[in-house]
Amino acid sequence: MSAPVLLTGFEPFDGRPVNASWLAVQEVSRTWSGPVPLVVERLPVSYDRAPRLLADRIDRIRPGLVIATGEAGGRTAVGLERVAVNVADAAIADADGRLAVEERLEPDGPDAYLSALPLRECLAAVRRTGVPVEISASAGGYVCNAVFYRLMAVARESRVAAGFVHVPLTPAQGGGVGMVTVDAALALRTVVDTVLEATLGPEPAEVDRT
Ligand code: PCA
């Protein structure tokens, strides 16, 4: 698979100056060295615009793997999300002022999609780095879940490996509680590597030229 990896994070929301997911995605991008091209994208926290932008990028870039990420307040571990549900329901409005209460994202869509990432392998690989990580049973009912839901619908159609990862707030955002960006980025990079290795096979051993 030499198709690019698409990694997305979100714009800041809820009055916070930064978004931990975008900080982590930028850090992955800064230190990226292959084996395939990496494309990153920052999504607006909008039920309407974010899934559309993501679907458009997938259509244009034709990635082999898409990992969408967002920040999750109150969490202390990276969350490998298992399931995207066909519901929009959150206590706060999105960037366009839309407050969703028990709405279906796609009236005729399935109730849920499961992540297409090898979650157990990713969990084990991130654990080996020492970064706190868990498999999460709910991505919530806000824009992250909406993006995850659309991502899995598109991924299923175009046979792309895809999933969603939540990262904790940074300690600066979370009043001292949270995860530093380099750790969140290491977790994301490890998830990407794990999926690529499963698809590409292990990297060839270095040739001894002596
Ligand atoms: N977190 C929100 C939306 C954007 C983000 O980073 C969520 O968990 O839905």
Stretch 16-30: mean pLDDT, rounded?
A: 97
pLDDT band at 72 (very low <50, low <70, confident <90, very high): very high
pTM of this structure = 0.95
- Cβ 121 vs Cβ 84: under 8 Å: no
pLDDT of amino acid 159? 87
CATH of 5-200, one of 3.30.450.40, 3.40.630.20, 3.90.580.10, 3.90.1580.10: 3.40.630.20
Given a cut of 90, whether residue 199 has pLDDT beyond it is no
* Ligand 1 contacts CB of residue 71 (under 6 A): yes
CA distance 117 to 105: 22
Give me the residues paired with residue 144 across strands.
none
Mean pLDDT of 187-200: 94
- Annotated catalytic residue 144: yes
Per-residue pLDDT, 202: 62
**pLDDT for the residue 45:** 98
How far apart are the C-alpha atoms of 98 and 190, rounded to whole Å? Answer: 35
- From ligand 1's centre to the CA of 129, what distance in Å? 25
- Cβ neighbors of 149 (< 8 A, separation 6 or more) are 51, 84, 85, 86, 105, 106, 109, 113
Delimit the domains of the chain by residue range. 5-200
Q: Is 141 in the pocket of ligand 1 (CB under 6 A)?
A: no
pLDDT digits 0-9 by tens, 90-116: 999 999 999 999 999 999 999 999 999
Catalytic residue check, 203: no
Q: Determine the distance separating the centroid of ligand 1 and the alpha carbon of 205, expressed in angstroms.
A: 40
